[in-house]
Amino acid sequence: MLTAFVTAAVGLAGGVANAKSDFPQVTYQLSGSSPVAEYISFQTDTGQYQQANVKLPWSTQFTAFGGEVYVISAQSPGSVTCTILVDQKVVSQATANGQPARTVCSH
């Protein structure tokens, strides 16, 4: 009986340690022809953020709770590209050119 309990406990512990999270990993990426984005705005699981004079390339990652809308926008001279990845798969990508260039990605 003790052997069965120990075996079951070890099996459960191994299963928990190796379990994959059901929550998606979201990555926002920005790149461009300029070394700096004048302005970026993005939404994560903890709120809406704005930053100015951001060094490119730039990225941030967070664990989402599911059902959220993912949005990132950027403004930069020349060209600027935004990308959203969910669990390492590209789900949105956009490039803009101009003086300034403005791009938005959403998913």
Would you state the structure tokens that stand for residue 27, as one six-digit string?
Answer: 């990555």
Q: Please give the mean pLDDT across all residues of the chain.
A: 87
Residue 32 belongs to domain spanning: 25-106
Which letter does DSSP use for residue 13 in this model? H
pLDDT per position as a tens digit, 48-59:
999 999 999 999
CATH code of residue 56: 2.60.40
Element (H, E) at 41: strand 36-44
Instruction: Please check whether residue 60 lies inside any domain of the structure.
Output: yes
CA–CA separation, 61 and 25 (whole Å): 7
The count of structural domains within the chain is 1
pLDDT band at 67 (very low <50, low <70, confident <90, very high): confident
User: What number is the average pLDDT over the span 63-75?
Assistant: 91
